[in-house]
C-alpha cells in the first residue's frame, strides 16, 4: 500500500475542524477587464508602524504608497531581493505597467499585507481572511495575487 493510500485510509474520515457555509462560486471577468489586488505575507509596513509578533492582522496600502518596509524581524530572513526590487514581494509596478498596456483592467485602489510568520491559522480562516475578502470585494477586486514570503 502506498504512503498516500495509508494516509487517506487513516485520516480520510477525520472532520476538518471548521464548518464552512457553502460559497457561491463566481466566474472572474477577462483579465483585460479585471481589477487586480496584491495580498502578500511579507509583513510590509509603513515606517514607524511595527507589527506585533504573531499578529493575525493585515495592513492595507493605497496603490501609490511608497517607502514600505519589510517588517519581518528574523535574522534568518533574507531581505536582499526586496531591497533590490520591491516587486519581488509586492509587484505593484508590474501591475501598473500591465494596466497601462491593457493587460489588466485596473490596479485595485488598495492592497494588503499579512505577517507571514504565524503558525495558528484559525484566526485567518475565521476572522481576518473573511474581513479582508469583504474589503477587497467592496473595492471591486476580481483577482487577488498572493505573494507568499
**Mean pLDDT over residues 66-93, rounded?**
84
Structure confidence at residue 20 as a pLDDT band (50, 70, 90): low
Domain boundaries, the chain: 37-147
The rounded percent of the chain whose pLDDT value lies above 70 is: 89
Q: What is the pLDDT of residue 17?
A: 66
Q: What is the pLDDT of residue 142?
A: 96
> What does the alpha-carbon distance between residue 50 and residue 43 come to, in Å, rounded to a whole number?
9
Structure confidence at residue 54 as a pLDDT band (50, 70, 90): low
User: For residue 114, is pLDDT > 70?
Assistant: yes
**Mean pLDDT over residues 22-48, rounded?**
89
Residue 29: DSSP 8-state: P
Euclidean distance between the first and the last CA atom of the chain, given in angstroms as a whole number: 36
Amino acid at each position: 500500500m502506498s504512503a498516500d493510500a495509508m494516509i487517506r485510509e487513516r485520516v480520510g474520515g477525520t472532520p476538518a475542524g471548521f464548518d464552512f457555509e457553502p460559497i457561491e462560486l463566481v466566474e472572474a471577468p477577462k483579465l483585460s477587464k479585471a481589477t487586480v489586488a496584491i495580498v502578500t505575507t511579507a509583513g510590509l509596513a509603513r515606517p514607524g508602524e511595527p507589527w506585533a509578533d504573531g499578529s493575525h492582522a493585515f495592513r492595507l496600502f493605497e496603490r501609490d504608497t511608497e517607502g514600505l518596509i519589510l517588517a519581518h524581524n528574523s535574522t534568518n530572513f533574507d531581505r536582499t531581493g526586496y531591497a533590490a526590487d520591491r516587486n519581488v514581494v509586492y509587484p505593484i509596478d508590474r501591475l501598473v505597467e500591465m494596466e497601462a498596456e491593457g493587460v489588466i483592467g485596473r490596479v485595485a485602489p488598495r492592497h494588503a499585507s499579512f505577517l507571514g510568520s504565524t503558525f495558528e491559522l484559525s484566526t485567518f480562516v475565521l476572522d481576518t481572511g473573511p474581513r479582508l475578502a469583504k474589503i477587497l470585494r467592496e473595492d471591486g477586486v476580481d483577482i487577488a495575487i498572493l505573494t507568499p514570503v
